[in-house]
Amino acid sequence: MSALAVQFLNGLASASALFLVACGLSIIFGVSRIVNFAHGSFYMLGAYLAWTFTRGLGWVGYGPLGFWGGILAAALIVGLIGVLIELVLLRRIYQAPELFQLLATFGVVLVVQDVTMAIWGAQDLLGPRAPGLRGAIDVMGQRFPQYDALLILIGPVVLGLLWLLFNRTRWGTLVRAATADREMVAALGVDQRKLFTSVFFLGTFLAALGGGLQLPREPVQLHMDMAIIADAFVVVVVGGMGSVGGAYLAALLIAQLQAFMLLVPDFEIAGLTISIAKMTLIPSFLVMAVVLIARPYGLLGKAPSHARTQASVEPVVRVTPPLLAKFGFATVAALILLPLIADEYGLMVATEILIFVLMAASLHFMMGPGGMASFGHAAYFGLGAYGAALAAKHFDAPMEAGLVAGPVLATLGGILFGWFCVRLSGVYLAMLTLAFAQIVWSIAFQWVAVTGGDNGVLGVWPSIGKTGFFYLSLALAVVGVLLLRRAIYSPFGYALRGARDSALRADAIGIDVKRVQWTAFAIAASFAGLAGALFAYFKGSVFPTYAAIPKSVDALMMVLLGGVQTISGPLVGAAVYMGLHEQLVRATELWRLVLGIAIIALVLAFPQGIAGFAAKRWAKEDGA
Amino acid sequence: MTLKRRELLAGTAAAGVLLGSPTVLRAQNAPIRIGEINSYSTQAAFLGPYRNGWNLALEEANAAGGIDSRRLETLFRDDAGKPEDAVRHAGELVAAEKVDLLAGGFLSNIGLAVAGYAKQNKKLYVASEPLTDAIVWSQGNRYTFRLRPSTYMQAAMLVEEAAKLPITRWATISPNYEYGQSAVKWFKELLVKKKPGVQFVAEQFPALGRIDAGATAQAIAAANPEGIFNVTFAADLANLVRQGNTRGLFERRAVVSMLTGEPEYLDPLADEAPEGWIVTGYPWDQVNTPNHVKFREAYRRRFNDYPRLGSVVGYDTVNAIVTMLRQSRTTDTEKMVDAMEGLKFQSAFGDVEFRKIDHQATLGAFVGKTKLVNGKGTMVDWRYADGKDYLPSDAEVAAMRPKDA
Instruction: Report CB contact under 8 Å: A6, B108.
Output: no
Confidence band of B292 (pLDDT split at 50, 70, 90): very high
Instruction: Report CB contact under 8 Å: A258, B215.
Output: yes
Instruction: Report CB contact under 8 Å: B235, A143.
Output: no
Mean pLDDT rounded to a whole number for chain A: 90
Instruction: Report CB contact under 8 Å: A219, B219.
Output: no
Are the C-beta atoms of residues A51 and B268 closer than 8 Å to each other?
no
Confidence band of A256 (pLDDT split at 50, 70, 90): very high
> What is the C-alpha to C-alpha distance for residues A587 and A601, in angstroms, rounded to an integer?
19
Instruction: Report CB contact under 8 Å: B212, A117.
Output: no
Task: Compute the CA torsion angle B190, B195, B196, B197 (nearest 10 deg).
Answer: -120
Query: Would the pLDDT of A335 be above 90?
Result: yes
Instruction: Report CB contact under 8 Å: A136, B247.
Output: yes
Confidence band of A312 (pLDDT split at 50, 70, 90): low
Minimum-distance CB partner of A7 among B116, B215, B238: B215
Minimum-distance CB partner of B120 among A448, A456, A540: A540
Decide the pairing of beta strands B227-230 and B254-261. parallel
Task: Write the DSSP string, A179-211.
Answer: HH-HHHHHHTT--HHHHHHHHHHHHHHHHHHHH
Instruction: Report CB contact under 8 Å: B92, A345.
Output: yes
User: Mind listing the pLDDT tens digit for each residue in B124-173?
Assistant: 999 999 999 999 999 999 999 999 999 999 999 999 999 999 999 999 99
- The whole-angstrom distance between A620's CA and the closest CA on chain B is 41
Minimum-distance CB partner of A221 among B213, B221, B235: B235
- The residues, ordered by sequence, that sit 6+ positions from A47 with a Cβ below 8 Å of its Cβ are A74, A127, A208, A211, A212, A214, A215, A220, A224
Domains delineated in chain A: 2-302 (1.10.3470), 321-548 (no CATH)
Q: What residues of A are in contact with residue B77 (Cβ under 8 Å)? A: 585-586
- The residues, ordered by sequence, that sit 6+ positions from B113 with a Cβ below 8 Å of its Cβ are A456, A458, A539, A540, A541, A543, B83, B84, B86, B87
User: Mind listing the pLDDT tens digit for each residue in A199-237?
Assistant: 999 999 999 999 999 999 989 999 999 889 888 989 998
Minimum-distance CB partner of A3 among B209, B222, B243: B222
pLDDT the model gives residue A273: 74
For testing contact with chain A, the best of B1, B74, B88 (most A CBs within 10 A):
B88
Q: What residues of B are in contact with residue A13 (Cβ under 8 Å)? A: 214
- What residue type is assigned to position B384 of the chain? Y
Provide the 10 A C-beta neighbour count for residue A293: 14
pLDDT the model gives residue A213: 96
Query: Would the pLDDT of B4 be above 60?
Result: no
pLDDT the model gives residue A525: 98
Confidence band of A428 (pLDDT split at 50, 70, 90): confident
Q: What residues of A are in contact with residue B81 (Cβ under 8 Å)? A: 545
Minimum-distance CB partner of A263 among B108, B219, B242: B219
pLDDT the model gives residue B393: 95
Note the ipTM here. Answer: 0.88
pLDDT the model gives residue B26: 44
> What is the C-alpha to C-alpha distance for residues A13 and B59, in angstroms, rounded to an integer?
51
Q: In the 8-state DSSP scheme, what is residue A425?
A: -
Mean pLDDT rounded to a whole number for chain B: 91
Query: Would the pLDDT of A103 be above 80?
Result: yes
pLDDT the model gives residue A263: 86
Confidence band of A421 (pLDDT split at 50, 70, 90): very high
Residue bearing the bigger pLDDT, B1 or A363: A363
Confidence band of A296 (pLDDT split at 50, 70, 90): confident
Decide the pairing of beta strands B144-146 and B169-173. unpaired
pLDDT the model gives residue A623: 53
Query: Would the pLDDT of B13 be above 60?
Result: no
Q: What residues of B are in contact with residue A278 (Cβ under 8 Å)? A: 176, 203, 205
Phi, psi dihedrals of residue B125, rounded to the nearest 5°: -130, 115
Confidence band of B28 (pLDDT split at 50, 70, 90): low
Query: Would the pLDDT of A110 be above 70?
Result: yes
Query: Would the pLDDT of B15 be above 60?
Result: no
pLDDT the model gives residue A158: 96
Confidence band of B19 (pLDDT split at 50, 70, 90): very low
Query: Would the pLDDT of A142 be above 90?
Result: no
Report the pLDDT averaged over residues B57-64: 96
User: Mind listing the pLDDT tens digit for each residue in A563-620?
Assistant: 888 888 899 999 999 999 888 988 888 899 999 999 999 889 888 888 888 887 777 7
Confidence band of B21 (pLDDT split at 50, 70, 90): very low
Phi, psi dihedrals of residue B384, rounded to the nearest 5°: -90, 120
Minimum-distance CB partner of B116 among A13, A344, A458: A458
Report the pLDDT averaged over residues B325-354: 96
Domains delineated in chain B: 5-150+288-363 (3.40.50.2300), 152-286+365-395 (3.40.50.2300)
Query: Would the pLDDT of A621 be above 90?
Result: no
- The whole-angstrom distance between B139's CA and the closest CA on chain A is 8
pLDDT the model gives residue A315: 67
pLDDT the model gives residue A319: 74
Q: Tell me the whole-structure pTM to 2 decimals.
A: 0.90
pLDDT the model gives residue B12: 45
Report the pLDDT averaged over residues A124-148: 91
% of chain A exceeding 70 in pLDDT: 97
Burial of B65 (0-12, 13-18, 19+ CB in 10 A): exposed
Which has the closest alpha carbon to B352: B342, B362, B339?
B362
A295-309, A528-542, B67-81: the lowest-pLDDT one: A295-309
> What is the C-alpha to C-alpha distance for residues A277 and B236, in angstroms, rounded to an integer?
17
Which has the closest alpha carbon to A535: A360, A376, A373?
A360
User: Mind listing the pLDDT tens digit for each residue in B168-223?
Assistant: 999 999 998 889 999 999 999 999 999 999 999 999 999 888 899 999 999 999 99
Instruction: Report CB contact under 8 Å: B214, A124.
Output: no
% of chain B exceeding 70 in pLDDT: 93
- The whole-angstrom distance between B44's CA and the closest CA on chain A is 5
Report the pLDDT averaged over residues A95-115: 87
Query: Would the pLDDT of A366 be above 60?
Result: yes
Q: Is the dihedral of CA B21, B24, B25, B31 positive or negative?
A: positive
Question: Bridge-partner residues for B383, per DSSP?
Answer: B367
Q: What residues of B are in contact with residue A350 (Cβ under 8 Å)? A: none
Q: What residues of B are in contact with residue A448 (Cβ under 8 Å)? A: 178, 181
Residue bearing the bigger pLDDT, A270 or B69: B69
